[in-house]
Structures are given as structure tokens and as C-alpha cells.
Structure 1
Amino acid sequence: MSTVAISASDVNKLRQMTGAGMMDCKKALTEANGDFEAAIDLLRKKGQKIAANRQDREAKEGYVFGKLAADGTYGAVVAVCCETDFVANNADFIKFGESILDLAMSNKPATADDLKSLKLGNVTVAEACVEQMGKIGEKIDVVDYQSVSAPKVVVYNHPGNKLTSMLGFNQTVSEETGKDVAMQTAAMAPVAIDKDDVDNKMLEREMEIARDQARQEGKPENMIEKIAQGKVNKFYTEYTLLNQSFIKDEKKSVRQYLESIDKNLKVTAMKRVKIG
């Protein structure tokens, strides 16, 4: 049994250090015999236990954070999830997510796993998420991280903070043009920039579905491939950015809109991050 007296100021100090509840802090300090580092470890272990118990919980809420470097050539998006909109809208949760984004902007990690291994204060991002679980009592995780480097990067945060789109261009574009195409990406959810960028497995799946539909409609076998290709072409116009109808002028494709500004203007990267 601990012989060290645990004062109210000690409890409050640990609470300020960790954000954990008063009773949890007092119990941890008592068990740790007044050792703050050991008490913090105990609280983190409590968080890990909560995390283990919540692995099967769905975390469909959260906050998507997108940010652009001052020179406009680099952008990053981080999505941090939780279980309820109450937590998602909490100022401390938002601040936590923004601190992870700032870390990403400073270090430019290649992947989400690389981001999670970076130090946020004295712990890694992954460990910080576990600590947040201990404080909040909900599953917390970095579920997506994307970055783009290009001569010109545009980041669009959709109102509500559940959706961010980010584009890279091969040259400088006006704020209006960049935002228009980024909003198109957010609203129309393209799966690729152009036809050649569509994943082969996705393309073959679309072809197979189109073939099956044609056969079910009783189309002649010698016409199946032609019909399927026609349906895939429709898929391209609906789900590839440059071939979609431009939302501000449906008489033009996005490609035609960009060419009307500058025939050499290209979209070199596209990211779309959504929660919920």
C-alpha cells in the first residue's frame, strides 16, 4: 500500500498533464506511489484496455482536416474518427486532429502508418490516439492521410468538416478555377482523374457487370462486347474527373473547361477524403 500522501494539487497536476478524470488521476497516482511517469503509464494502459474493448465498435463520425502550405505547392489531409458527433464537434477533439495535421505538414510522412509513428509531444500519434480513447471513452483513430506535392495544390474543405478534396496542377491556376475543380471532386466523387487512371480491377468489374446485364437483356452474343464497352464509356463520363460534366456548365466536360483556360493545364493528382 502506498505510504506517499497524494495531494489535491498532485491530482490536479496529473489531470492537467493528461486530461484524464480527477478520480482516475488520484487512483493512478496512488497505485504509482506518487510517481507521475508511472501514473501516466497506468492511465495509458487504461486507455489501451479501452481501445482493445472497442476494436469492434464502428467509428463513423469524426473530423476531416485539410491544409495548404504557404507556398501553395504542398497540401495534406488527415481524417480522425470517433464514434459520436458529440465528440466530433468537441473543441478538444478538433484541436487534437489539427495537431496531427500540423505534424503531417511539418514532416511530410509518406503514409498513414508513417504519420502514426511520428512523435506528438512525448508519445507517437498512435499512442496519443490511445490516450484520447482513455480520456474520451470512444474509439479514436487516424483513418486516412493523404498528401499532394505539385507546382500548384488546391485544398477544399467542404462545410461540415466531413469531406475534403485536394488537387495538384502542373501550373498555377486562379483561385476560382482551383476551387471549382476541387468542389467538383468533392461533389461528384470521381474514382480517377482520367480513363487511363482507372484501376484495372475496377474496370474489369464494370465490364463484367455490363456483359451480364446485356446477356440478361437478351442481347446477341456477338454484340455483348460492344454493348459492354458502351456502358464502360458511360462509366468514364460519370466517374473520371476530366470526363465528367462540369457542374457549373454541363455543356462542357471538366477537361474542356480546363482547356478553355489553358490548353496545357493538367490535373496531376487528386485526393478525396470523407468520413461517414
Structure 2
Amino acid sequence: MEKARSIGAELVKSLRSLTGAGFVDCKNVLTETDGDLEKAVELMRKKGLARAQKKANREAREGLIYSYIHAGGRIGVLLEINCETDFVARTSEFQELAKNISMHIAASNPLYVKREMLPPELIAKEKEIYREQLISIDKPQAVKEKIISGKLEKYYKDVCLLEQPFIKDPSKNISSIIEEEVLRLGENIALKRFVRYQLGE
């Protein structure tokens, strides 16, 4: 009986506000974690990520082209963001996501949506630069290759939109805020392309 009282409506409401999940899911996870809110959030995120990954295989052909103007008309962004239905595309949540990502693009100036879009010659050039930087360092080649891999991962985070830390909450990247909305809206969401304009460039 004590456990049942501890998992009351207020606790469920708290978990819902933290995760955006439904009442029944929150109640079940809280029961599973004996009413421990911190553990429940962690478990919900693990389960949520798995559900988001399943949805990622579904086609997203609807959506919208979102335009955003920043800095007194000096920076502009056009973003194509896709979902599965026109109904979701018209929701305020989906449009707020498009706005947040467009604002992020304006501020952070990514070059590509994801790492798979980088031209192979650009990656080869970056690796060559890193190798040149390590010539004078007395380390085994295997160690140098690990350093190069680490530098390349950092480069991806700098230039790939999905991997950049979100400007409003750097503890999350753009990919994770999209996953959160996939769970909230129940549809696959995909970023297809964007263009960023800046006056004088």
C-alpha cells in the first residue's frame, strides 16, 4: 500500500513534465522504479530512445519549409523539416521545433545536416591536416591515429547540424531534441536540408 501511495498523480505529473510521455507509460515506469523519479527519468529516456529509433525507419514525406530571419535581417535560414503527416506538420509543437532548429542554424552556422553528407575529399583533407600537426610529436603511429580519430569526431560536432550542441540547452544535441519530439508527436521527423544566408558573405 505504501508503494501505491508514493506513486500518486503528482509524481506521475512530474515525470510527464520531464519526459513528455503519456500518463500510463509514466505510471508503469514509476512502478518499475519503486517511485524513484530520477531512475524513472533515466529508464524513460532509454525506452524512449528505442521507440524513436523504430520510428526513424518510417517515411517522412510531409512537413514544411521554414524561414527564419535573424539579426535585423542580416542572417536568414531556410529549413526543410519532414514528418509523416500534414496534421503533425501544422501543430504548434512541430513548428516550434522548426523555429528552434532554424535559430540554432543562424547562430551556429553548421555546414552539413549529418556526417554522411561530408564529401570524402574533405574528410581526407582534414585528416591530412591533423597528421601534419602531429609530425613533431613523438608517439607511436597507432596513438597518432587515435588522436586523429578524436579530432575528426570533434570536427563532425563542429560542422554537422545533428551533432552540434543545441544553443538553448548545450547538454543536448540537435539529434536528441528531434528524438524528444518524435516521442511527443508519435511520428518520424527528419531534417532534409537547409540554407543559411548571411549579409556580406
TM-score over 0.5 for the pair: yes
2:162 to 116, 121, 129: 116
1:13 aligns with 2:62: no
Which residue does the alignment assign to 1:140? 189
- Structure-2 separation of matches of 1:27 and 1:125: 29
On the 8 A contact 2:56/2:189 being kept in 1, the answer is no
Give the Å deviation of 1:103. 1.9
Q: Give the number of equivalent residue pairs.
A: 151
Task: Give the TM-score of the pair, scaled to structure 1.
Answer: 0.49
Task: Give the TM-score of the pair, scaled to structure 2.
Answer: 0.65
1:125 aligns with 2:196: no
What SS does the aligned partner of 1:100 have? helix
Which residue does the alignment assign to 1:56? 57
On the 8 A contact 2:12/2:27 being kept in 1, the answer is yes
- Structure-1 separation of matches of 2:33 and 2:103: 34
What SS does the aligned partner of 2:192 have? strand
Query: Relative to structure 1, is the Cα distance of residues 40 and 123 closer, same or farther in structure 2, using a 3 angstrom cutoff?
Result: farther
Unaligned runs of 5+ residues in structure 1 are 152-167, 169-276
Q: What are the within-5 Å matches in structure 2 for residues 7-46 of structure 1?
A: 7-46=8-47
Which residue does the alignment assign to 1:226? none
Q: What are the within-5 Å matches in structure 2 for residues 112-191 of structure 1?
A: 112-113=113-114, 114-117=160-163, 118-119=165-166, 120-121=168-169, 122-151=171-200
What SS does the aligned partner of 2:110 have? coil
Give the Å deviation of 1:41. 2.8
Runs of 4+ in 1 over 4 A off after TM superposition: none
- Structure-2 separation of matches of 1:36 and 1:128: 21
Query: Relative to structure 1, is the Cα distance of residues 30 and 146 closer, same or farther in structure 2, using a 3 angstrom cutoff?
Result: farther
RMSD after superposition? 2.4
When structure 1 is superposed on structure 2, of 67-76 and 18-27 the one drifting more is 67-76
Q: Which protein has greater RCO, CA pairs closer than 8 Å, 6+ apart?
A: 2
Which residue does the alignment assign to 1:104? 105
**1:70 partner letter:** A
Structure that is richer in helix per residue: 2
On the 8 A contact 1:44/1:134 being kept in 2, the answer is no
- Structure-2 separation of matches of 1:81 and 1:44: 23
